[in-house]
Amino acid sequence: MTHLMQTYGRFPVAFVKGEGIHLYDADGRAYLDFTSGIAVTSLGHAHPNVTRAIAEQAATLLHTSNLYEIPLQEQVAGKLTALSGLDRAFFCNSGAEANEAAIKLARKYSTETYGSHKYEILTLHESFHGRTMATLTATPRPKFQEGYAPLMPGFRYVEKDLDAIKAALSDQTCAILVETVQGEGGVLPLGREFLQGLRALCDEKGILLLIDEVQTGIGRTGTLFAFEQAGILPDIVSLAKALGNGVPVGAILAKEHVAAAFTPGTHGSTFGGNPLAMAAANAVLDTIAEEGLLEHVQQMAAYLESRLDELVAAHDFILSQRGHGLIRGLLFDRPAGPLVSKCLEYGLLVLTAGEKTLRFLPPLTVTEADIDLMMQLLQEALAD
């Protein structure tokens, strides 16, 4: 009997140890982890730099209130703003909280700048932005929203088409919120031209562009932020997952004139940006730079793409592959869920993305040998 609420359909395995790209169960069996805890442990499990930073900080100071100065928070904020080209940072604990903060900041800025009538946010079909009431409402997916009515007002859903988005704009529209790659929707990249078109449209209409990089940020696509590759700068970007390599950290970064709408008392987070979280985030950012992981991701992404192309060519029931950097998906002509379970039997951890897409999210430290082993295990599972 369990005393846990039944919110997860769990696989029948419990991990007791992690090292690099491997997880180990109580019997010592190794599993090749191509999920990274859903894009979280991007430096792999138990990375020595992060482990050392957490241990030293835990032995010194775990938490203080944001009513006091937190020097490490200033340090991490400085690095993120310098690397992104944005001006201000706010720290929280998760991706959903980061998107909540982005939504609140967009509405507050627009209300103060244009008036209370300007509050509506457009989001795209197939997107996913979180499970709080606001982020759930921003996620136009019936399977996530069912049972939670009435949802929050102030959101409108549109297709991934610039003309459709332009037609949906009104005097009430204050922002457009998008992912650079729709991870939960099936690993669907929006593409450089589409993102550039969004930026131009937002500039033309005087509305904010919010980019959700909770899953793609902190190096997964080969640059620290995926929006860099489109040659654009959002007004607000949300981050989480890989920022703490397993320690809960969320953040938004914003342009100066937008961030100014958040004044003392207008938003906050008890745990957000505490010393432990910032020690982890600081170690993550330093490690990515010191180990040259962005260039490594670009190389490994090309290799993973070429190996997955082999599967597409070899099997009629695999329709295509898609993705960006080290977030990739294989599209099947049938549900992919049973294959995830079969892969687990062979010691390979993968995910679904939507009903028919198998999703791969290896750590940024993945090697060609790791990819080759993944292919071997996946082919064995497919043959079974």
Backbone torsions φ then ψ of 203, nearest 5 degrees: -65, -40
Joined tokens for residue 194: 């589409």
For residue 330, give the 3-state DSSP assignment: strand
Look at residues 204, 148, 214 and name the one whose alpha carbon lies nearest to residue 178.
214
Which residue shows structure tokens 């690397």? 83
> Rounded to whole angstroms, how far apart are CA atoms 267 and 37?
29
Asked if 56 and 175 touch (Cβ cutoff 8 Å), the reply is no
Q: Is 131 labelled as part of a ligand binding site?
A: yes
Q: Is 156 labelled as part of a ligand binding site?
A: no
> Rounded to whole angstroms, how far apart are CA atoms 57 and 280?
9
Q: Is 181 labelled as part of a ligand binding site?
A: no
DSSP conformation class of 1: -
Q: Is 212 labelled as part of a ligand binding site?
A: yes
Q: Is 95 labelled as part of a ligand binding site?
A: yes
Q: Is 270 labelled as part of a ligand binding site?
A: yes
Tell me the C-alpha to C-alpha distance, in Å, between residue 256 and each of 78, 86, 109, 176, 236. Answer: 13, 8, 11, 19, 10
Q: Is 87 labelled as part of a ligand binding site?
A: no
Q: Is 96 labelled as part of a ligand binding site?
A: yes
Q: Is 163 labelled as part of a ligand binding site?
A: no
DSSP assignments along 254-291, one per residue: E-HHHHTT--TTSS--SSTT-HHHHHHHHHHHHHHHHT
Residue 329: CB atoms within 10 A of its CB come to 28
For the annotated binding site for pyridoxal 5'-phosphate, the residues are 95-96, 128, 212-215, 270
For the annotated binding site for N(2)-acetyl-L-ornithine, the residues are 131, 269
For the annotated binding site, the residues are 95-96, 128, 131, 212-215, 269-270
